[in-house]
Amino acid sequence: MPILWRLRDKTLRYGEIKKTMPKTTHKMLTASLRELEEDGFIHREVYPVVPPKVEYSLTERGRNTIPVISDLRQYGFALMKEYGIDIGSEDIKI
């Protein structure tokens, strides 16, 4: 879900995704991207340039998950607020 959420508005390169997920290892991010591609949630576009350029974007299936992820986020934030947990980052404000 975190990867799909980051791709909701735009196409991103691997490095751009990684920067937004600093605690995720390269191995885990690569495996997750491959799995999402195999399952049809994201599209991987490879450009024949040096150095290699790879971009990731949502497929129709991936775009269809965004409202569900949004609802889960809102519910999670509401629970956090209810329990007095500080949401913190501007990126995740309700």
pLDDT at residue number 40: 98
Mean pLDDT value of segment 19-33: 96
DSSP structure string for the chain: -HHHHHTSSS-EEHHHHHHH-TTS-HHHHHHHHHHHHHTTSEEEEEE--SS-EEEEEE-HHHHHHHHHHHHHHHHHHHHHHHTT-----GGG--
pLDDT 10s digits, 36-58:
999 999 999 999 999 989 999 99
Mean pLDDT value of segment 66-76: 96
Mean pLDDT value of segment 71-87: 92
Domain boundaries, the chain: 2-92
pLDDT at residue number 92: 53
Class (C level, CATH) for 2-92: mainly alpha
State the pLDDT confidence band at 93, using cuts at 50, 70 and 90. Answer: very low
